[in-house]
Amino acid sequence: MKTLDKETNDKLNTCVAKVFAGKFAPDATAEARGEVKTILAGHADILRQVDA
């Protein structure tokens, strides 16, 4: 099982927090998905799991 470094994990947690703060509004969710793809660009295997 592969894990993320602290910096990447913190960035992902920030994205998730934005979705919660936006009460799962479609625009907040879409924005977060874009950010997640950017954050996980170097972690293709994990990105595939998130995108599934």
pLDDT tens for the chain, 52 residues long, are: 578 999 999 999 999 999 999 999 999 899 999 999 999 999 888 888 877 6
Instruction: Tell me what pLDDT residue 19 has.
Output: 93
Model confidence, pTM: 0.77
Note down the domain range covering 34. Answer: 6-51
Instruction: Tell me what pLDDT residue 46 has.
Output: 86
Residue 35 lies in a domain: yes
C-alpha atoms less than 13 angstroms from C-alpha of 28 in its C-beta half-sphere:
12
The number of distinct structural domains making up the chain is 1
Instruction: Dihedral sign for Cα 1, 48, 12, 26, please.
Output: negative
Instruction: Tell me what pLDDT residue 9 has.
Output: 94
Residue 52, helix vs strand vs coil: coil
Instruction: Tell me what pLDDT residue 52 has.
Output: 67
Residue 19 lies in a domain: yes
Residue 1 lies in a domain: no
Residue 34 lies in a domain: yes
Instruction: Tell me what pLDDT residue 36 has.
Output: 92
